[in-house]
Amino acid sequence: MPMLRSDIAPSLTALVYPDTGYPAAAFEALVARCRRHELSLAGVLQHVSEATPDRRCDVILEDLSTGLCTAIFEDRGAGASSCRLDEAALTGAAVRVASALDSDPDVLVLNKFGKAECEGRGLRHLIAAALEREIPVLIGVPKGNLAAWRGFAGDLGTEVEADVGEIERWADRLGRSVSDRLVAE
């Protein structure tokens, strides 16, 4: 796995985690550490809305710049077995995040490089927009999607494990980089 050098600011980083579980603690630590550094955030985090076995992927996205929460899975009943992603809800959340990029946040945090992103849809355009504006990006990537992520990110991408300590160090490097940039201006 490509490692992030400790002396450079991150620009496009995958927070890599096992396919079996979203790293909520790592993302919560990231947001807390960024806020401690007084970094402005754009993007979304996911929260499970119902933790029952038949509804394990009911997800709500929290907009980090406004606090607005959006459910992104359709309720198709208990017997539904196909993907229940509500593309319209995801698009609405993406539009709000794209609007937040206009305020030039210090970092874009995205919950997941998932199936939609692997297929060229989803939140990929937000990553490109952030990089064009030189806004660092951190996105969660389940190990099963690493090949697609690496194909998308190419040489620009770095990876960190879903470890609270490692993600806090990432945020610290970003905080120092932003502080150095502000001093230079």
pLDDT digits (tens, 9 = 90+) for 10-54: 689 999 999 988 899 999 999 999 999 999 999 999 887 665 555
Rg (CA), the chain: 16
**Fold of the domain built from segment(s) 12-139+157-184:** Rossmann fold (3.40.50)
Does 6 have pLDDT greater than 50? no
pLDDT digit string, tens, across residues 119-139:
998 889 999 999 999 999 999
Q: What is the reported pLDDT for 83?
A: 55
Least confident of 2-11, 73-82, 163-172: 2-11
Q: What is the reported pLDDT for 52?
A: 52
Question: Structural domain boundaries of the chain?
Answer: 12-139+157-184
Nearest to 65 by CA among 15, 3, 130: 130
pTM, two decimal places: 0.84
User: In terms of pLDDT, which residue wins out, 58 or 110?
Assistant: 110
| Cα gap 17→176, rounded to integer Å | 25
Mean pLDDT for 70-84 is: 64
